[in-house]
Amino acid sequence: MNLILVEPEEIDAAGEVVLAGRRFRHLIEVLRASPGDRLRAGVVRGPRGRAEVIEATADHARLRLELDQPPSPRPNVELILAVPRPKALARAVETAAALGVGHIDLVNAWRVDKAYFQSGRLDPAELRASLRLGCEQGGSTWVPDVEVHRLLVPFIEEQLPGRLAEGPIGLVAHPGAPPLETAMRPGSGAPLIVAVGPEGGWIQREVDSFVAGGFTAISLGAGVLRTEAAVAALLAQIELLRRLR
Amino acid sequence: MNLILVEPEEIDAAGEVVLAGRRFRHLIEVLRASPGDRLRAGVVRGPRGRAEVIEATADHARLRLELDQPPSPRPNVELILAVPRPKALARAVETAAALGVGHIDLVNAWRVDKAYFQSGRLDPAELRASLRLGCEQGGSTWVPDVEVHRLLVPFIEEQLPGRLAEGPIGLVAHPGAPPLETAMRPGSGAPLIVAVGPEGGWIQREVDSFVAGGFTAISLGAGVLRTEAAVAALLAQIELLRRLR
């Protein structure tokens, strides 16, 4: 927890917040915070700053917020992710939030097990818990929205063209495609929409649909990776390319 | 399974191998292979080529190996990894093997829960199973060796200087340190030894020990990541830097 992240409605009129449960335990057991300590804090989609611990009991802590910094900007990478196994889903969205994405679309694909759509992990509250964990790690107040799309082709054909028309570069990760840097020059700050397939990959027809919709197929250069590792590897390579000139 | 990986002792005098268990099920259920199909195959630390399915029953398959390509080269990145939670350990070493590392040292650190050293996941057979999974994904016959070091400082002080003397660059990942590319130029093919800390990070004294031993502290530029995501992000950024000029 590199940022104590609170919801706006948790803040009382005095600018204080009471933490119990997971965040409380992390505060005490991992960060070993005690009254008087000041830690990085922020409000979901709101300002950042510090939180001073003013009281710690056996089961909760009271913190006073001092929020004098602007909200984290919306990261200008959006992620399209074929729904992975339920446990991998939680880790993948957490990793995406930690590395910073503006928005997540969870999509169906030929190689997605249809049972995954019955999983409780697709419940918005479960997803939000994973996203918040990632934002706490990454230190960002930007908790991405997540949309679930049960039909891939209508999503590609009806929704993506409008989004690409606003300017971003669309990239679809596919082993054997040209490497990422052929589609995104070092130092480029262009907004991106990146699509990561299921375990086993997109089928060729799906890649073709993305490409017909204006996306460019790219690869990470590595072999095939599990979903969460692929998300981490892709977002990390994008971040590095943006830093370079 | 992008490579059917077999141990040398599994191959009979006729150059055939019988798969049962996990690899058999993957072959039939995921790859939907049937007699006559030829798939990528390789021998651990040995040659690569194809395997032709010559028989498939309800519980095993017989394959004939045609190994006409050289072994995968030893990747010239070595990974030092503070032991993470047992489940994360399995995923982290799998990811490292998929992205390609020559050797793995699992080490203790101040923030490593000492109970992790009692975990069955540190059992060599368990580790090797995870490494093989990663190599099957990454398509490499180079299954890294793993060494476990229960004392960090003697490892840093007694073992690393000799290894660095052979030429590699030592890098220790630490949030807030200068970014990776300041210590490793784009296009550099120099061998590397990279150290990834526990959840919560190395303590400053540990980073200082690495630096005193000739390592350079670097960061991925991102926030703090879970171990497996950090391994994926770091190795992916290294791979990208090596591709660039």
Cα A63 to Cα A44: distance, rounded to the nearest angstrom = 16
Helix and strand totals (H; E) in chain B: 7, 11
Sheet holding A16-19, edge to edge: A4-6, A38-43, A48-56, A61-69, A16-19
User: In percent, how much of chain A has pLDDT > 90?
Assistant: 87
Given a contact cutoff of 8 angstroms between Cβ atoms, the answer to whether B72 and B41 are in contact is no
Tell me the average pLDDT of chain A: 94
Check CB contact under 8 Å for B223 and A181.
no
**Cβ within 8 Å of residue B182, ≥6 positions away:** B218
Please answer whether residues A184 and A169 qualify as being in contact, where contact means their C-beta atoms are separated by less than 8 angstroms. yes
Predicted confidence at residue B222, as pLDDT, reads: 64
The whole-number pLDDT of residue B74 equals 97
- For chain B, residues with pLDDT lower than 50 are none
Q: Which of B91, B138, B221 sits opposite A222 (nearest CB)?
A: B138
Question: Quick check: A35 pLDDT over 90?
Answer: yes
**CB B218, CB B174: distance < 8 Å:** yes
Mean pLDDT over A41-65 rounds to 96
**DSSP count for chain A of H helices, then E strands:** 7, 11
- What is the structure's pLDDT at A224? 80
pLDDT in tens, A95-106: 999 999 999 999
Query: What pLDDT is stored for residue A49 in this prediction?
Result: 97
Mean pLDDT to the nearest integer, A167-195? 94
The neighbouring-strand residues paired with A193 are A78, A170
CA angle in degrees (0–180, nearest 5) for B168-B169-B170: 115
- As a whole number, mean pLDDT of residues A128-153 equals 95
**pLDDT given at position A2:** 87
Q: Which of A32, A231, A240, A243 to mutate to test the interface with B (most CBs of B within 10 A)?
A: A240
**Percent of the residues in chain A that have a pLDDT greater than 70, as a whole number:** 100
Q: Report yes or no: B187 at the A interface, CB cutoff 8 Å.
A: no
Which residue in B101, A245, A155 sits closest to B93, CA to CA?
B101
Q: What is the mean pLDDT of residues A191-195?
A: 97
How far is B38 from B35, CA to CA, in rounded Å? 9
**Cβ-Cβ contacts under 8 Å, A232 against chain B:** 225, 228-230, 232-233, 236
In this structure, are residues B190 and A190 in contact, taking their beta carbons and an 8 Å threshold? no
Confidence at A41, pLDDT banded by 50, 70, 90: very high
Q: What pTM, to 2 d.p., does this model score? A: 0.94
The ipTM is 0.93
| pLDDT at B121 (0 to 100) | 79
In contact, B39 and B31? CB cutoff 8 Å: yes
Label residue A222 by pLDDT band (50, 70, 90): low
- Taking the C-alpha atoms of residue A70 and residue A1, their distance in angstroms, rounded to an integer, is 19
What span, in angstroms and rounded, lies between the C-alpha atoms of A205 and A56? Answer: 57
How far from the centroid of its chain's Cα atoms is residue A213's Cα? Answer: 24
A68, A43 contact by CB (below 8 A): no
- Asked whether residue A40 carries a pLDDT value surpassing 90, the answer given is yes
pLDDT given at position A51? 97
Above 90 in pLDDT, residue A118?
no
Q: Do A224 and B180 touch (CB under 8 A)?
A: no
The domains located in chain B, with CATH, are 4-69 (2.40.240.20), 77-243 (3.40.1280.10)
